[in-house]
Amino acid sequence: MARALATAPRVVLAVSGGRDSMALLRAAIHAAPGQVAGVATFDHGTGAYATAATELVAATCESYRIPCAAGCAPAGTPPTEAAWRLARWRFLREAAARLAARVVTAHTLDDQLETLIIRILRHAGARGLAGLDADGAAVHPWLLVRRASVSDYAAAHEVAYLEDPSNQSRAFLRNRVRLDLLPALLRARPALGTELLGLAAGAAQWRRDVERFVAATHMVHVDEKGLSIAASELARYDDAALAIVWPVLVARMGLALDRRGIARLADFTHRGRVGGEIQLSGGVGVRRSTFSFVFHRRGPVQRSGPGDGAVRQ
């Protein structure tokens, strides 16, 4: 754990109250206490379990004498995995920014495999196929650790946690992948896990190479009003190249684009008139000025570095 956190002198632990994240809290406090600036826990507003889990995290943090920031899903948040993830990560980034720290999650190798299957089902491009194995604002110290090993650690150290009853619900895609699809695929092809992890590693390296190129080639201005990018720098790209470059650029404001959003943005890049504007998901608007493309959104801009994992294809 200490070695995995060596690149992050200050961290905020994302702790849900479940087994893996409570084990992460225990491990980080014992291995690198000086680096833990605080804990962030998020109530998705799904009922008694979510509230009880948040209370468990707060009580555990009090016993460790470390700060704990608690957030909750805004009223009216749709009861979907995507909406919960967006709200949770917005809260985590804000908590990390206040403490000038990086977010640390308890994602395991099993989570990575599930993520890759989901990305494939959604026709992800190379950027998305990096899964969780991508440089960015979040740190995943257990990404090469099996979930069973985390379970053994939690049992050995009598880590208190709450089991989320929704983890058994096949109403959610990730659970269907975890409980049914991935086990069936591995039975049919035992080497699939190793092959998928190799695919993700290659995609992550490609992603890092692209992000280095874009960072060296394009100047992006980010402030509290939004983000702006010089139009002249994008004019030389065709639609295929823009589908690679745009996700890296808009990641600076924590914006997630699907294929449809990328296609609309690429079309607007070449054919949008000065003064014209299009709307993207998440309440984001893009305006074409004389010299720039200007992105703006309702609420504060989520500052982030290239490759923070917010952008997916």
pLDDT digits (tens, 9 = 90+) for 87-102: 898 899 999 999 999 9
Residue 158 Ramachandran class (φ > 0 left, ψ -120 to 50 alpha, else beta):
left
The stretches in the chain having pLDDT less than 70 are 135, 224-225, 282, 298-313
- Beta pairing, strands 68-72 & 277-280: unpaired
pLDDT at res. 111:
96
pTM score: 0.82
Q: Which CATH architecture has domain 219-297?
A: 2-Layer Sandwich (3.30)
The listed CATH number (3.40.50.720, 2.120.10.30, 3.40.50.1980, 3.40.50.620) that belongs to domain 11-188: 3.40.50.620
pLDDT digits (tens, 9 = 90+) for 111-124: 999 999 999 998 88
Indicate where the chain has its CATH 3.40.50.620 domain(s): 11-188
